[in-house]
Amino acid sequence: MATREELISKIEALPGLVRAAVTGATDAQLARPYREGGWNARQVVHHLADSHMNAFIRCRLIATEDNPSLKPYDQDIWATLPDSHTGPLEPSLAILSGLHTRWAAFFRALAEDAWSRTGLHPENGAMSLQLILDSYAAHGERHLGHIRAGIGS
């Protein structure tokens, strides 16, 4: 089982790994789904920015409010929006870079008792800051694999 610092380091490292994975990829590679019926690599990059922005906001709500409601969104619909399906990668790569720097700093600055604070997600139930760290460190790694599979690297 990974330590908290190892998980935070994964959050911190993800933007550089995503950028490296897509550097030099052709439009055809970026448009290829990682599996039959799956998103293409471009959609996955944009999804990471969308998803991780939502998760960062959820973390900040949990840290500053008592058991806040955490709003879900339909990631599949978001992935079909034109900016996600065909838009340039650079804006989402830039978002990931800045966001993950902030997110890692946020996690590292938390007091020990903050890690058990929770918010209530209508689909997932109670979500603690520790659960979000665990989930999103794995989420990033999983989708990095999808990007690599889609572009064939």
Give the CATH number, domain containing residue 19. Answer: 1.20.120.450
Where does the pLDDT of residue 101 fall: very low under 50, low under 70, confident under 90, or very high at 90 and above? very high
Its domain, for residue 57, covers 4-151
pLDDT at 120: 97
**Lowest mean pLDDT segment, chosen from 8-12, 67-71, 82-86, 140-144:** 82-86
d(CA 90, CA 38): 22
Backbone angles phi, psi at 74, to 5 degrees: -95, 95
d(CA 14, CA 34): 18
pLDDT at 29: 95
pTM for this one?
0.96
For residue 145, give Cα distances in angstroms to 16, 66, 127, 142, 151: 14, 36, 25, 5, 10
Question: Tens of pLDDT along 24-57?
Answer: 999 999 999 999 999 999 999 999 999 999 999 9
Query: Can you say how many angstroms the Cα of residue 66 is from the centroid of all Cα atoms in its chain?
Result: 24
For the chain, what is the domain count? 1
pLDDT at 1: 84
Instruction: Name the token pair of 73.
Output: 């969104």
Where does the pLDDT of residue 115 fall: very low under 50, low under 70, confident under 90, or very high at 90 and above? very high
Where does the pLDDT of residue 153 fall: very low under 50, low under 70, confident under 90, or very high at 90 and above? low
d(CA 114, CA 131): 12
d(CA 84, CA 44): 8
